[in-house]
Amino acid sequence: MNRRHFTLSLSSVAALTIAGWLPTARAQAWPDKPVRFVLSQPAGSGPDNVARLLSDRLAKTWAQPVVIDNKPGGQNITGALVAARAPADGSSFYFATTAALVTNPLLFKTLPYDPQKDFVPVAFVAKSPFAILVEASSPIRTMEDLIARSKAEPGKLTLGNEGPRTFSGMIARLFNARSGAQANLVSYSSVGVGSQDLMGKHIDAMVADLASTAALAKQGRMRVLATTSAKRVAGWEQVPALAELLPGFDMVGWFAVVAPKGTPQPVITRANRDISSLLADREVADRIAAIGPIAEPGLSVDQVAAFLAGEHTRWAAITKEIGVLPE
């Protein structure tokens, strides 16, 4: 090999080495610009409140602004699509819910995004218990009362929810199916609208997430009959879990952070570590619990992936049980 060829070879090796080093170096320097969390829910919603709490703390940890980008609408499709199409450089994450990552593929024949192909797991944030609530002065005091009344006059008792193809709507259908209740399911465009009708005594009961209704319940304007979780919820220990009446009933929403596929692994690893560290902070966990959800720190990236896979399997069985087919 002559000197010219040897010099060229060294240059080629150097170029390849630098090319391979640059993405890693950039990832290690992350974040070097503002970070965006895309949400499918509007400002003021339960997920939004939790995301803003975390973003304020993460901004200090990362020394960069963490911006909340609300993209509500289309049963989470609008926000999911924005997040899926975002640059995979660590500048954008998707603060996702059960619907966006698990149930939408079971409810729609075609989606403009694929939760399993377009995103990679980053961190698990919290579980979001749902509840069955009545207006504070309602004569319905227990779930047994509600079921008995619905059976006594089939179709007369009204149970509000956000629609047959939403999380609360499917909880309502599963409750009817497993309890033998014959409640008339009334759809609303949002928890807020349903809550106003419940407090106005236009409906008898409602299925909603605690994150959106906790404040009204604590103000004494609503009464929580049961949570839809397998066990009683921390902070709501006086409220029975529906599983105490219907063994095996476990319908709990959750929040997880995912990133566009192709996001550098070092970024994902650090984001997982930093988010989990925040969630393990007692003050942060208590503030999230005050909103409604229950923080669950400590899941590794692989554990989040395994959890999501398990949820796909579980929800496939649930949608089959209640007869929900993709449209």
pLDDT in tens, 155-201: 999 999 998 888 899 999 999 999 999 999 999 988 999 999 999 99
pLDDT above 80: residue 226? yes
Q: Report the pLDDT value the prediction gives residue 246, as an integer from 0 to 100.
A: 96
Q: Which domains does the chain have, with CATH numbers?
A: 33-127+254-321 (3.40.190.150), 129-244 (3.40.190.10)
More confident residue, 323 or 258: 258
Binned at pLDDT 50, 70 and 90, residue 3 comes out as: low
Helix 210-218, helix 282-291: angle, nearest 10: 80
Kindly state the percentage of the chain with pLDDT values over 70. 91
Q: Do the Cβ atoms of 134 and 221 come closer than 8 Å?
A: no
pLDDT above 80: residue 4? no
Out of 3-12, 72-81, 92-101, pick the least confident.
3-12
Binned at pLDDT 50, 70 and 90, residue 92 comes out as: very high
Q: Report the pLDDT value the prediction gives residue 45, as an integer from 0 to 100.
A: 84
Distance between CA 48 and CA 35 in Å, rounded?
A: 16
Out of 9-18, 26-35, 40-49, 217-226, pick the least confident.
9-18
pLDDT above 90: residue 123? yes
Which residue pairs from 317-321 have beta carbons closer than 8 angstroms and sit at least 24 positions apart in sequence? 318/170, 318/174, 318/251, 319/103, 319/106, 319/107, 319/170, 321/174, 321/177
Bridge partners (DSSP) of residue 39 are: 70, 95
pLDDT digits (tens, 9 = 90+) for 76-86: 999 999 999 99
Bridge partners (DSSP) of residue 97 are: 255
Q: Give me the residue label for tokens 């377009």.
A: 118
Helix 46-62, helix 210-218: angle, nearest 10: 110
Query: pTM of the prediction?
Result: 0.82
Average pLDDT estimate for 26-42:
88
Look over the chain and give the mean of its residue pLDDT values, rounded to a whole number. 91
Average pLDDT estimate for 208-225:
92
pLDDT above 90: residue 8? no
Helix 265-279, helix 46-62: angle, nearest 10: 110
Cβ contacts of 93 within 8 Å, gap of 6 or more: 35, 36, 37, 38, 83, 122, 257, 258, 259, 271
Cβ neighbourhood burial of 6 (10 Å; 0-12, 13-18, 19+):
exposed
Q: Do the Cβ atoms of 130 and 93 come closer than 8 Å?
A: no
Out of 12-26, 86-100, 209-223, pick the least confident.
12-26
Q: Report the pLDDT value the prediction gives residue 325, as an integer from 0 to 100.
A: 82
Specify the 3-state DSSP secondary structure of 67: strand
Q: Are strands 205-209 and 119-135 parallel, antiparallel or unpaired?
A: antiparallel
Which strand (E) or helix (H) includes residue 48? helix 46-62
Binned at pLDDT 50, 70 and 90, residue 25 comes out as: low
pLDDT digits (tens, 9 = 90+) for 259-306: 999 999 999 999 999 999 999 999 999 999 888 889 999 999 999 999
